[in-house]
């Protein structure tokens, strides 16, 4: 039978399953094969790598998996992301503005934040990635030091969302001309409005679009 779109989707789903069983080698092999087969990079990323983390999250919630397994899945996903990286950041041009990005204090999740940073770089933005567990003081210091136009905050835990409010307030208090954007699985637009952030996005491409808009205003 000829290869159909359905077959391709199945192959991408195999990537998700390989991540969910923590098979780093297989993830790399499958992602490389999909790139070679000219599968859409977005499809590999979304239906392959990102969907896998949803599977893992659900298995964690149901008590089927524990933290060490979540970590192994994260490592498998990161290995796949490394292979995709050159394709995600293709077409980079001269920097169009500087973004300081980090995961907020108390939160160690960095896959989504790394993805946002990667796509921002790909869109020609200068990105200063502070890493994880970053407090208000560090964000303010970095924004001043790098003359940033946007500070981007990521949080994956409901317990670290209030820290976003503290950081947004500290940036305003510092009186620096920098916009703040927030994102991460539990973050909503209503929350972003409530804490006085300048923008919110549900995903990495949206964060890039939003940042470009904010930098051009
Ligand atoms: Co954690 N974890 N985890 N975890 N973990 C979640 C988030 C959880 C939903 C799992 C679950 O219960 N189903 C849950 C949070 C529940 C809640 O708060 N309501 C949870 C928990 C409870 C915990 C611990 C507390 C577990 C424990 O110790 N008992 C602990 C906390 C540690 C800490 O941070 N202090 C913990 C630890 C970990 C690991 C370290 C093991 C590992 C992280 C490894 C790493 O990141 N290096 C981990 C993982 C892997 C997950 C899940 C399974 C996957 C997260 C992920 O990488 N997703 C996650 C379940 C899930 O999300 N389904 C879970 C893929 C990634 C691409 O998506 O980060 O959402 P995401 O990014 C998206 C968007 O959110 C958006 O763009 C990306 C897509 O384009 N986005 C932005 C992200 N940042 C943005 C910023 C923006 C804009 C968009 O603008 C600035």
Which CATH number covers residue 53? Answer: 1.10.1240.10
Number of domains comprising the chain: 2
**Which of 28, 60, 87 finishes a domain?**
87
Tokens linked to 71 = 């970590």
Among 134, 174, 169, smallest CA distance to 154 is for 134
- Whether residues 99 and 199 share a domain: the answer is yes
Give pLDDT, residue 9: 55
Give pLDDT, residue 128: 98
Counting as low any pLDDT under 50, the low residues of the chain are 1-8, 92-94
- Whether residues 64 and 131 share a domain: the answer is no
Give pLDDT, residue 119: 86
Q: Would you say the CB of residue 174 lies under 6 angstroms from ligand 1?
A: no
Give pLDDT, residue 217: 60
Tokens linked to 33 = 């094969």
- Whether residues 33 and 125 share a domain: the answer is no
**Which of 70, 87, 104 finishes a domain?**
87
Alpha-carbon distances, residue 131 vs 10, 111, 216 (angstroms):
34, 11, 26
Distance from C-alpha of 34 to C-alpha of 41, rounded to nearest angstrom: 9
- Whether residues 110 and 180 share a domain: the answer is yes
Q: Taking the CA atoms of 107, 131, 176 and 212 in sequence, report the sign of the dihedral they define.
A: negative
**Which of 36, 66, 87 finishes a domain?**
87
- Whether residues 57 and 116 share a domain: the answer is no
User: The tokens 């969302």 sit on which residue?
Assistant: 161
State the residue range of the domain holding 130: 94-215
Task: Compute, in angstroms, the gap from residue 53 CA to the centroid of ligand 1.
Answer: 9
Supply the residue whose CA is at minimum distance from atom 45 of ligand 1.
109
Q: Taking the CA atoms of 120, 188, 74 and 31 in sequence, report the sign of the dihedral they define.
A: negative
- Whether residues 77 and 147 share a domain: the answer is no
Task: Compute, in angstroms, the gap from residue 109 CA to the centroid of ligand 1.
Answer: 5
Distance of CA 15 to the CA centre of its chain: 19
Give pLDDT, residue 121: 85
Q: Return the ligand 1 atom nearest residue 113 CA.
A: 84
Is residue 124 within 8 Å of residue 180, measured between CB atoms? no
């Amino acid at each position: 039978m000829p290869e159909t779109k359905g077959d391709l989707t199945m192959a991408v789903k195999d990537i998700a399953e390989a991540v969910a069983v923590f098979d780093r080698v297989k993830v790399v092999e499958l992602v490389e094969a999909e790139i070679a087969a000219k599968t859409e990079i977005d499809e590999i990323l979304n239906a392959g790598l990102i969907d896998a983390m949803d599977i893992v999250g659900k298995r964690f919630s149901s008590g089927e998996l524990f933290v060490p397994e979540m970590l192994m899945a994260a490592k498998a996903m990161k290995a796949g992301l490394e292979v995709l990286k050159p394709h995600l950041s293709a077409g980079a041009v001269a920097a169009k503005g500087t973004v300081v990005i980090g995961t907020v204090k108390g939160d160690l999740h960095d896959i989504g934040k790394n993805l946002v940073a990667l796509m921002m770089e790909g869109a020609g933005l200068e990105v200063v990635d502070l890493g994880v567990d970053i407090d208000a003081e560090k964000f303010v210091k970095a924004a001043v030091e790098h003359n940033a136009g946007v500070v981007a905050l990521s949080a994956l835990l409901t317990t670290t969302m209030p820290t976003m409010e503290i950081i947004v307030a500290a940036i305003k208090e510092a009186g620096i001309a920098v916009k703040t954007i927030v994102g991460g699985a539990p973050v909503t637009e209503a929350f972003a409005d409530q804490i006085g952030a300048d923008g919110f996005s549900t995903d990495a491409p949206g964060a890039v679009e939003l940042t470009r808009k904010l930098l051009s205003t």
